Amino acid sequence: MPILQLMHVILGAGQIGPLVAEQLVARGKQVRIGRSTARKPGEVSLDVRDADAVARLADGAEVVYHCVNPLYTEWSELLVPIARGIVEGTKRAGARLVALDNLYMYGDTAHMNEDSPLTPRSKKGELRVRAAEVMLEAGAAVGRAADFFGPSPLAAIFGARFYERVLAGKRAEVFGDPDMPHSYSYTPDVAAGLVELGLNDVRGVWMLPVLPAEPTRQVIGRFARAMNRDIGVMSVPNWMLRAMGVFSPLIREVAEMTYQWRQPFVVDDSKFRARFGVAPTPWDDAIAASVAWGVRTYGQRLAA
């Protein structure tokens, strides 16, 4: 096999793209990374809406991984054109496409698997249905993940704000009802799932490896034990988010999605486990690694 056929191209270098690259390199693959603004050696700047630019970057590649995400406030304008640019560029390069997706298209469905009906109840959920259609029609493998946690400042509930508040002795902020079961995805498991889809010639929708669902309050209890401190829980009411949303378009977009924490939100990854034999990292290990990173990052910042 020519060496170039081993090339894997990762689009997006946010929470997941670099982890996908790291895991592919560990498995002996060559990688190229494309993002809006290259920041490290080996990265390439491009706008993935430009199919020609995607095709040039993916020239000779076997698989392209779509881990791109526009700003929440720009989804209406960018989400579908991004999917189209990536699909078209990947096709021209003759590569397979593996795309990372979320669960907004399932609306009120409490227990989600690959066969769940598409019933979005938000503007962003409708956009995700359209973007996924573009990719699935082109034969992509689409991996769906729940809310992220891991060594990442951007994780919705367990990101920078969580560590800054908790390390300062404040309560953790959550949305909706903290006693509803909720699925969370550990970011290295999301990357591992995408790599599995890339290394196997599969198509269609796959629920990526996800931790067994637990109430968010219980997950915060896990963080508390790992950090050896009490962590109170405070649910930010939706009326407050909506009021803040008058001034902040970003918070307005967050408020649209908090229904996911007001009802059970449980993902079933059994199809993925059965096909690939890959299970998520155990809760204790995932929490320990996340906390080690969070305390190292935000503990130092507080001490400075």
Ligand X SMILES: NC(=O)c1ccc[n+]([C@@H]2O[C@H](COP(=O)([O-])OP(=O)(O)OC[C@H]3O[C@@H](n4cnc5c(N)ncnc54)[C@H](OP(=O)(O)O)[C@@H]3O)[C@@H](O)[C@H]2O)c1
Q: Which residues bind ligand X (CB under 6 A)?
A: 12-16, 35-37, 46-49, 67-70, 82, 100, 102, 145, 147-148, 154, 156
Q: Which is nearer to ligand X, 208 or 231 (CB)?
A: 208
Closest CB 156 distance from ligand X, rounded Å: 5
Residue nearest to ligand X (CB): 14
Closest CB 69 distance from ligand X, rounded Å: 3
Q: Rounded to an integer, what distance in angstroms lies between the CA atom of residue 7 and that of residue 64?
A: 9
Q: Which is nearer to ligand X, 35 or 222 (CB)?
A: 35
Closest CB 236 distance from ligand X, rounded Å: 17
Helical segments of 27-74, H only: 51-57
Q: Residue 53 to residues 131, 152, 270: CA-CA distances in angstroms?
A: 19, 28, 37
Short-list 157, 291, 136, CA closest to 229: 291
Q: Which is nearer to ligand X, 156 or 231 (CB)?
A: 156
Q: Which is nearer to ligand X, 10 or 166 (CB)?
A: 10
Phi/psi of residue 303, nearest 5 degrees: -75, -20
Q: Which is nearer to ligand X, 15 or 238 (CB)?
A: 15
Report yes or no: 195 and 143 within 8 Å, Cβ to Cβ. Answer: no
The tokens of 152 are what? 């990442």
Report yes or no: 48 and 57 within 8 Å, Cβ to Cβ. Answer: no
> At which residue do the structure tokens 């992220």 appear?
148
Q: Which is nearer to ligand X, 82 or 231 (CB)?
A: 82
Partnered with residue 110 across adjacent β-strands are none
Closest CB 171 distance from ligand X, rounded Å: 21
Closest CB 13 distance from ligand X, rounded Å: 4
Q: In this structure, are strands 214-215 and 181-182 parallel, antiparallel, or unpaired?
A: antiparallel
Closest CB 16 distance from ligand X, rounded Å: 4
Q: Rounded to an integer, what distance in angstroms lies between the CA atom of residue 227 and that of residue 229?
A: 6
Burial call 224-250: b when 16+ CB within 10 Å, e when fewer:
bebbeeebebebbebeebeeebeeeee
Helical segments of the chain, H only: 17-26, 51-57, 75-93, 123-137, 160-167, 187-199, 216-227, 238-245, 249-257, 270-276, 283-294, 300-303
Give the relative orientation of helices 283-294 and 216-227 as an angle to the nearest 10 degrees.
60
Closest CB 145 distance from ligand X, rounded Å: 4
Q: Which is nearer to ligand X, 6 or 236 (CB)?
A: 236
> At which residue do the structure tokens 């009120």 appear?
108
Q: Which is nearer to ligand X, 6 or 111 (CB)?
A: 111
